[in-house]
Amino acid sequence: SRAPGYTIRSRLTIQRYFWNPIYDRLAHGYDAVDWLTGFTTQRLRTRALAYMPHPGTRLLEIGFGSGMLHAELASRYKMAGIDLAPGMAGLTRQRLDNSGRHSALCVGSVYASPWPDATFDAVLSTFAFSAFADPDRALDEMVRVIVPGGKVIIVDAGRVDDGNLVAAMLARVWELLGD
């Protein structure tokens, strides 16, 4: 749920001037947050694998972050990815290069991906969807780039109820700041 009083326009403004610069600068420390929360996000990301299409298909990851999952998926899928942060894209490119894997990475907005209609068999977004200021528009774009009958797979933050106090605190702060 969204914090009361937040319009799409105000969320876009907050995202542009506050969240985007912070997210970009956190690229090399991003995985440390997962470590602090007991690898909660990585455990949940791997749950998405059960919903993935068969190996060898075309997969777009939106909001690939530091690229841990993206590099792993690149060993099984024809990958592409889009993320708003150049720092995250650089880190992901480095992970891919170090593992000898390939992906078409793009720095850009979820609202205007550069791929034509019906390019991918599936779209995956992990822990990014709740940060989109205009989720309806983001979902429309995800659906636009998948083939008919394709999958949109979203793993995101919800209620933290596994007893992890650090994760619960971070989720509460995130919510108070409009995400």
Kindly state the percentage of the chain with pLDDT values over 70: 62
CB burial of 135-172 (b: ≥16 within 10 Å; e: otherwise) equals beebbebbeebbeeebbbbbbbbeebeeeeeebeebbe
Is residue 1 pLDDT above 60, yes or no? no
Nearest to 156 by CA among 131, 119, 120: 131
Mean pLDDT of 53-59: 95
pLDDT confidence of residue 133: 76
Q: Quick one: pLDDT band at residue 161, thresholds 50, 70, 90? A: low
- The DSSP bridge partners found for residue 74 are none
Pick 174 or 84 by higher pLDDT: 84
Between 148 and 66, name the one with better pLDDT: 148
pTM of this structure: 0.74
Q: Residue 83 and residue 71: Cα distance in Å, rounded?
A: 14
DSSP readout, 78-114?
EEEEEES-HHHHHHHHHHHHHHT---EEEES-GGG-S
Name the CA dihedral angle for 88, 92, 97, 100, rounded to a multiple of 10 degrees: -170
Q: What is the pLDDT of residue 84?
A: 85
More confident call, 128 vs 60: 60
pLDDT digit string, tens, across residues 93-141: 999 999 999 999 999 999 999 999 999 999 999 878 877 878 899 999 9
Least confident of 70-84, 95-109, 153-167: 153-167
Compute the average pLDDT of residues 8-25: 60
Residue 68, CA atoms < 13 Å, CB-side half-sphere: 17
Q: How far apart are CA 157 and CA 104, in angstroms?
A: 26
Measure Cα distances from 156 to 9, 63, 73, 172 in Å. Answer: 22, 11, 18, 14
Total residues found in the chain within this entry: 179
**Which position has the token pair 């999958």?**
151
Three-state SS for 78? strand
**Does 23 score more than 80 pLDDT?**
no
More confident residue, 74 or 65: 74
Q: Please provide the average confidence, as pLDDT, over all residues in the chain.
A: 80
Placement of tokens 């190996």 in the chain: 55
